[in-house]
A and B are shown apart, each in its own frame.
Chain A
Amino acid sequence: MLSVSRLLIYFFLQDNEKISEYECGFEPFDSATRQPFDVHFYLVGLLFLIFDVELALLFPASVCIFDFTWFNVWMVFFFLLLLFIGLVYEWRLAIIDWPN
C-alpha cells in the first residue's frame, strides 16, 4: 500500500516547488555543481595525496623500524626531511593559508 501510494504520488502529484533543490526563497537558476569552485580545495587534495603516500611508506617502516640498520633509519629520516622541505615550500607559497 505504502509503496503503491508513493508511486502514485511520484507520478501524479509531483510538486516542482517541493522537489526543487534547497534555496533561499527564489528559484535556483543555475546548476550548482557544474560551476567552478575555489582552487584551494584542489590544492589541499594534492597536498593530501603527497602526505598520504608518505603515510603508506611510514607505516610499514615503523612496524619494523627496530630491525633496521642505521643506514635504513637515516634513509627514513632523509625521506621525512624531504617532505618537511616540501611542506615549508608549500607554506611559503601560501597554499595552506585560506583566503578570507
Chain B
Amino acid sequence: LLSLVVLFKGAYSIFFLSTCTLLFSVLKILFIFIIVAFFTLAERKILGAIHRRRGPAIVGLFGLLQPIADALKLFVKELLYPLRAQNFIFLMAPWWILTLSVLAWFFIPFHFIVFKFNALFFFDGVVDINTLFILDLFYTISFEFLFGNYNVQVVDGNIAVLILLAVSSLNVYGIILAGWSSNSKYAFLGSLRSAAQMISYEVSFGLTILPVVILTSSLNFIDISLGQVRGNFMFILLPSFIMFIISMLAETNRAPFDLPEAEAELVAGYNVEYSAVTFAMFFLGEYSNMLLMSALCVLLFLGGVGGHYYYFFPFKIVLVCFLFVIVRASVPRFRYDQLMQMCWKFFLPLTMSLFVYYVVFGFWLLNNIF
C-alpha cells in the first residue's frame, strides 16, 4: 500500500505545472503526510521487533491506526505559548520546517514512473530506455480525473540536485528560529548544536554528491538515473556512498548523531517548548525529511528511478528508511566533539581529494576508453 501511494503521488508534481490546480497539490501533500504517518508506525514496529516486544498493537488491527490516533491526539491538545516566547517567530518556525520539507518533494522525479505506466497502458511494444527518452521529450501527461481531462506538463528540474541542497540548507533557519524564539535554555542550546551539526555535514553532503555530478555531467535526476542503468553508483563510488549515508544520518539529526535531542542533557533539543499542533509539525517535517533523504540516496547511488526495474524505486526508498531505523536501534550515540571532528577532519579532506581523483579518473576514461 505504501509503495502504491508513493507511485501515484508523483502524478501530481505540481511545482512545475503550467496548469496548476490547487486540488492536486493538496492531494500530494496529503499523500506525503500519510506516508510519513505510517513511517512513524513502521519505525516503532521495527524498533519493537528488535527489542523483542510487540510495538503498538492496541489501536486498530496490529496497531495500524496508531499514527492516526497519535495525530488526532496531537491536534486536539492545547497549544501553549511560553511566557517569554516571541510568539510570531515561535509559530512561524514549525511552518517553515514543514513547508520546506513538503517543497523539497516536488523535485523528486516520481513522474518518471508515471511515464512508464503511460507507456505500458497506452503504447504497444516493449518499453525500453529509448521509448523513455521519447516520452521524456513530450513532458506531458494527460489523464482523466473527476471533472474532465487534464494536460499536466511535467518538467524535470535541470538543477534539481542543487535546489534540493538549497532547500535542505534552509531547514537550519527553522531550527534556529525555533530555538531562539522559545526563550528556553534547553531549546536554545539544542538549536545551536543542531544548526552547527547540520551546516557542518551539509558541506560534506554536497561534496559527496559531486562525484555523481562529475560522472553524469548533470544535475538532473533523470540523467543521473540513466547514468546508472548499467550499474549503480553505489559500487563505483563506494567511499562517497558510505560518506553520503553517514552525512545523511547527521543531516536529519538521526541516531547515532541525534545529539540535539540527547534526552539526558537537553531533554528534547530545540522543540522542548512546542506542544500539540506545532510539535506535530516539527515531527512531520523531520520524518518527511528522512524519507526525502532516502529518496535522494536511492536517486544518486542506488540506481535512481531504474532502467527496466522502475517498480523497484519505491521499494528501494523503503529499504533505505529501514536502514535508518536499524541504525537507530543498533548504534550508540556519538560524542559532540567526535561528530565535529569526523566531519571537518575526516570527511572534508577525503571528499576534496576524491573530487580531484574522480576528475582525473574521468579524463583518463575519456582519453583511453571512450
Contact = CB atoms under 8 A, between A and B. Distances in A.
B337 interface: yes
A100 B338 CA distance: 11
Interface in B227-270: 267
Chain A CB within 10 A, most for which of B82, B192, B196: B196
A77 B336 contact: no
A64 B210 CA distance: 12
A65 B82 contact: no
A52 B192 CA distance: 19
A21 B363 contact: no
Contacts of B183: 21, 31-33
B214 A62 contact: yes
B90 to A, nearest CB: 11
A96 B345 contact: yes
Contacts of B165: 55
Interface string A4-36: 001001000000101111110000100111000
B173 interface: no
A48 B203 contact: yes
B184 interface: yes
B362 A66 contact: yes
Given A62-B210, A100-B337, A55 B203 contact: yes
Given A83-B352, A96-B344, A66 B366 contact: yes
A44 interface: yes
| Band of interface residues on B | 35 or more
Interface in B153-170: 161-162, 165, 169
Nearest to A84: B352
Interface string B192-217: 10011001101100110010011001
Contacts of A48: 199-200, 202-203
Contacts of A22: 184, 186-187, 267, 272-273
B83 A16 contact: yes
A80 B352 contact: yes
B210 A58 contact: yes
A49 to B, nearest CB: 9
B106 interface: no
Interface string A37-71: 11011001101100110010011001111100000
Interface of A is mostly: helix
B213 A32 contact: no
A99 B355 CA distance: 31
Contact of A31 (B79, B84, B273): B84
Given A32-B185, A52-B202, A87-B348, A98 B213 contact: no
B131 interface: no
B80 interface: yes
A70 to B, nearest CB: 9
B355 A59 contact: no
Contact of A63 (B83, B196, B213, B355): B213
B99 interface: no
B82 A59 contact: no
Contact of A77 (B203, B337, B356): B356
B182 A21 contact: yes
Contacts of A62: 210, 213-214, 355, 359
Nearest to A21: B184
Contacts of A51: 203, 348
Nearest to B169: A52
Given A31-B84, A80-B356, A97-B341, A52 B203 contact: yes
18 contacts: A9-B78, A18-B80, A21-B83, A21-B185, A22-B273, A44-B200, A52-B199, A52-B202, A52-B203, A62-B213, A62-B214, A62-B359, A65-B362, A80-B355, A84-B352, A87-B348, A91-B345, A96-B340
Interface of A: 6, 9, 16, 18-23, 28, 31-33, 37-38, 40-41, 44-45, 47-48, 51-52, 55, 58-59, 62-66, 73, 76-77, 80, 83-84, 87, 91, 96-100
Interface of B: 78-85, 161-162, 165, 169, 179-180, 182-189, 192, 195-196, 199-200, 202-203, 206-207, 210, 213-214, 217-219, 267, 272-273, 336-337, 340-341, 344-345, 348-349, 352, 355-356, 359, 362-363, 366
Closest 4 CB pairs of A and B: A98-B337, A21-B184, A32-B185, A48-B199
